[in-house]
């Protein structure tokens, strides 16, 4: 069993280790290590198209993660006040949103957005004063909407689990002391669930920043970093691509590590 588990982990992580190793290759070949060098990291960061794609990914990831954290927290708080039957139905829908393949979400979001735009654009054209109305289309907004809706389910699950562990005692105690619901939330509930909200934000940011499948369907003319990497790989794998992949890997691992630290509950001290 130990040998089997070791083989599984080797199969999963050996290719990633090779990508990191060949990102420091001095030569231009991505399959033959000729010497140690960090020049490909400098060339990757000097690539204007890469920097533009990185900026797009950062803007989209920050925006979608912020929206997911806000609305996911609101959904988690609202679900705690539902009846058990309705709560079970919504829990199932949240779980389904997480396990549905990304290609299905991408296609469904694309179809829905195209239908919405085909309805709204003529309406805007008919009511816009002076003519020349704005045309709604795929771009930043469509990617943020797709990523935000998916990430909201993830944030809701995380925050809801934290709320369930708190119990109703502290809320009832605050009400007995004549605190308003807003004061109870601001001074009692929010400090307790804030680590989970931040953890959900970081995980949502990581998902949005790394996502290729959903963004590929709804990006329109915008290019995110994963889309740029995919387009570059079609022309051949170079150490520059390995350097980009290594930077994304390090950033993602840091986000996940911070999220895990925030989600870890503090042990009570005697």
Q: 116: domain range?
A: 50-263
Helix (H) or strand (E) holding 140: helix 140-166
36: β partners: 25
pLDDT value at position 86? 84
Helix (H) or strand (E) holding 93: helix 84-99
32 pLDDT more than 60: yes
- The stretch 37-45 carries a mean pLDDT of 82
The owner of tokens 């069993």 is 1
Return all residues near 157 (Cβ < 8 A) that are at least 6 apart: 94, 95, 98
Instruction: State the Cα–Cα distance between residues 32 and 38, nearest whole angstrom.
Output: 16
Which two three-digit tokens encode residue 75? Answer: 């959904």
25: β partners: 36
Q: Is residue 43 part of a domain?
A: no
The owner of tokens 């003319």 is 221
Q: Is residue 195 part of a domain?
A: yes
Q: What is the pLDDT of residues 101-113, one digit of tens each?
A: 888 888 888 888 8
| CATH assignment at residue 211 | 1.10.3720.10
Q: Is residue 39 part of a domain?
A: no
How many structural domains compose the chain?
1
Question: For residue 238, which of 15, 18, 17, 29 has the smallest C-alpha distance?
Answer: 29
Q: Is the Cβ–Cβ distance between 61 and 226 less than 8 Å?
A: no
Q: Is residue 11 part of a domain?
A: no
Q: Is the Cβ–Cβ distance between 218 and 109 less than 8 Å?
A: yes
Instruction: State the Cα–Cα distance between residues 255 and 241, nearest whole angstrom.
Output: 21
> What predicted TM-score, i.e. pTM, was given to this entire model?
0.79
- The stretch 68-80 carries a mean pLDDT of 88
Q: Is residue 253 part of a domain?
A: yes
Q: Is residue 127 part of a domain?
A: yes
Q: Is the Cβ–Cβ distance between 202 and 263 less than 8 Å?
A: no
pLDDT band with cut points at 50, 70 and 90 for residue 69: very high
In angstroms, what is the C-alpha Rg of the chain?
A: 23
Which two three-digit tokens encode residue 225? Answer: 């970093």
Q: Is residue 24 part of a domain?
A: no
pLDDT value at position 267? 47
Q: Is residue 8 part of a domain?
A: no
63 pLDDT more than 90: yes
């Amino acid at each position: 069993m130990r040998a089997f588990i070791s083989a599984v982990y080797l199969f999963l992580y050996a290719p990633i280790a090779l990508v990191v190793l060949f990102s420091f290759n001095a030569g231009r070949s991505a399959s033959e290590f000729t010497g140690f060098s960090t020049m490909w990291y400098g060339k990757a960061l000097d690539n204007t198209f890469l920097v533009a794609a990185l900026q797009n990914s950062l803007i989209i990831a920050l925006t979608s993660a912020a929206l997911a954290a806000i609305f996911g927290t609101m959904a988690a708080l609202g679900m705690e006040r539902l009846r058990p039957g309705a709560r079970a139905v919504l829990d199932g829908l949240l779980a389904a949103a997480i396990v549905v393949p990304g290609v299905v979400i991408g296609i469904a979001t694309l179809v829905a957005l195209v239908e919405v735009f085909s309805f709204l654009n003529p309406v805007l054209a008919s009511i816009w004063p002076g003519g020349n109305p704005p045309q709604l289309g795929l771009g930043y907004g469509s990617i943020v909407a797709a990523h935000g809706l998916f990430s909201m389910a993830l944030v809701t699950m995380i925050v809801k689990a934290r709320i369930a562990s708190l119990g109703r005692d502290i809320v009832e105690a605050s009400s007995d002391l004549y605190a308003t619901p807003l004061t109870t939330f601001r001074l009692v509930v929010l400090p307790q669930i804030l680590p989970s909200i931040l953890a959900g934000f970081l995980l949502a940011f990581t998902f949005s920043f790394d996502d290729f499948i959903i963004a590929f369907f709804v990006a329109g003319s915008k290019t995110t970093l994963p889309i740029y990497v995919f387009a570059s790989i079609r022309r051949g794998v170079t150490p520059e691509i390995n350097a980009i992949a290594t930077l994304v890997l390090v950033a993602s691992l840091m986000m996940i590590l911070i999220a895990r630290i925030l989600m870890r509950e503090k042990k009570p001290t005697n």
